[in-house]
Amino acid sequence: MPTIPILMPQLGESIAEATIIRILVEPGRTVEAGSDLFEVETNKATMAVTAPCAGKIGQIVATTQTSYAVGATLAAFEITDEDAQSLGFSSEEPKPAAVTPRTSSSEEVENLHFKISDNDVISTRQPTVEPVVGGLPVPAGATGASYISPRMRARMLELGLNASDLAGVPGTGAGGRVTVEDFEAFLRALEQHRMTPASPMRIAVADSMRRSWARPLATVGSPVMLDALLAHRKKADPKPGPALYVIRALALALAENTAFAGRLVGNRIVHPLAIDIGFAVEVDDGVMVPTLREVEKTPLVKLVPTYNKLVEQARSRRLPNDVNRPGIATVTNFGTFGIVWATPIPLPEQNLVLGLGAGSKVPHWSDEVQQFIPVTEAELTLSFDHRVLDGGGAGRLLKRVADLLQKPELL
């Protein structure tokens, strides 16, 4: 029986590595096609590596809590000649050197997931990696030290650090420049502290925020009355969450003027093709942002089941790849934590993030009865890229969202 290596697959767009969380099989076990073999974690979700056909597990090379690059060997897998041929291999022909790590990112290799070695033997040499910024979907354009010498840059690359990590290092060089000696002293001082490894999710969030902060960001805020929304929600079946009302209102407002959600590229504003809105979901050690597609075309009542399903998938970190792609804006309901006002930061790929604060009873002057009446009020905050949007435009967008929330039956 030929033996093929089970390789770390490409688990998502631009995913370069994944960490083994659990090994779900043991050597000698016979499994069916599609059986889960390994549970792995990327910086986006928790996924499974599955068997391509029926077979018998051989030597398991991978270990838990270790990161492996795409194409790294995880285990040996014994299959029949028929299954090998159905996967595109013939035991009578020379086999591709499947277990040799790729030496070039541009090298094209067919059948990346499973391959047969020349001698039906699994090589234990494989590219193991630590989850560093280099493995994230978009390269970091971090800023920190104004000048980094080639010598120190090489040392930082060796340690998986970037310029932003030097923000707290006092420099003794010319003009306050951080020297190699300053850097090494900083590293020695760190050894005196308790340190724990950062998760891939935490590194992904940190990299995203570094890239986001490279732009001139601003935030405006305005109170919004929630009484109409809460009354509508009480009678609705199924019941939308408060954040979903805001998502739908934002989508309708942006559909009226897509330039608000545009991106500045050179001397042009690039308008979005669709009003896809993401929403923040807190998970262990980070935040997931699933995306609702074409929200401006979908009534609120039809969004509820999709929204609820995405929340559940996000909390278990099992979001499908098609909803992991960012939308044109994000809504975050920080009011669930009792926060009244905040300045959330938009994702690097987006221009806008709309936040909803905690609601509370406040007095509101009524022209109809000529007296103060109690209403439920919350703060809406809009953070935006100031290169694309000014305070006046942001204020008008925020007012339009607030007005739409006063007529929830039209959402």
pTM metric for this prediction: 0.63
- Determine what percent of the chain is predicted with pLDDT higher than 90: 26
Q: How far is CA 238 from CA 26, 290, 302, 304, 311, in A?
A: 45, 20, 9, 7, 15
**pLDDT for res 283:** 83
The arithmetic mean of pLDDT across residues 178-197, rounded, is 81
Least confident of 51-60, 171-180, 329-338: 171-180
The arithmetic mean of pLDDT across residues 148-159, rounded, is 78
- Determine what percent of the chain is predicted with pLDDT higher than 70: 83
Least confident of 40-49, 210-219, 389-398: 40-49
| CATH superfamily ID and name for 216-410 | Chloramphenicol acetyltransferase-like domain (3.30.559.10)
**pLDDT for res 13:** 58
The arithmetic mean of pLDDT across residues 116-120, rounded, is 46
Pairing of strands 55-60, 73-78: antiparallel
pLDDT band for 175, please (50, 70, 90 cuts). Answer: low
Q: Where are the domain boundaries for CATH 2.40.50.100 in the chain?
A: 1-129
> What count of other Cβ atoms lies within 10 Å of the Cβ of residue 119?
9
> What count of other Cβ atoms lies within 10 Å of the Cβ of residue 223?
15
pLDDT band for 228, please (50, 70, 90 cuts). Answer: very high
Contact 41, 288 (CB under 8 A): no
Q: How far is CA 165 from CA 89, 168, 182, in A?
A: 48, 7, 13
* Residue 41 pLDDT > 80: yes
pLDDT band for 109, please (50, 70, 90 cuts). Answer: very low
Tell which residue, 258, 245, 355, has the closest CA to residue 299. 245
Q: Where are the domain boundaries for CATH 3.30.559.10 in the chain?
A: 216-410
The Cα 139–Cα 128 span in angstroms is: 20
**pLDDT for res 43:** 67
* Residue 12 pLDDT > 90: no
pLDDT band for 384, please (50, 70, 90 cuts). Answer: very high
* Residue 249 pLDDT > 90: yes
**pLDDT for res 288:** 85
N-term to C-term CA, the chain: 61
Own/partner pairs for 194-202, CB < 8 Å, 24+ apart?
Answer: 198/131, 199/41, 199/131, 199/285, 199/286, 200/19, 200/41, 200/42, 200/43, 200/67, 200/131, 201/41, 201/43, 201/283, 201/284, 201/285, 201/286, 202/285, 202/286
* Residue 172 pLDDT > 50: yes
Widest Cα–Cα separation across the chain? 92
* Residue 106 pLDDT > 90: no
**pLDDT for res 111:** 43
Which tokens is 95 given? 């086999």
Residue 108 vs residue 156, higher pLDDT = 156
In one letter, which amino acid is 165? D
In 148-263, alpha helices (H): 150-159, 180-190, 200-212, 227-235, 242-256
Contact 104, 127 (CB under 8 A): no
**CATH fold for the domain made of 1-129:** OB fold (Dihydrolipoamide Acetyltransferase, E2P) (2.40.50)
Tell which residue, 206, 380, 385, has the closest CA to residue 287. 206
Residue 45 vs residue 24, higher pLDDT = 24
pLDDT band for 147, please (50, 70, 90 cuts). Answer: low
pLDDT band for 356, please (50, 70, 90 cuts). Answer: very high
Please give the mean pLDDT across all residues of the chain: 80
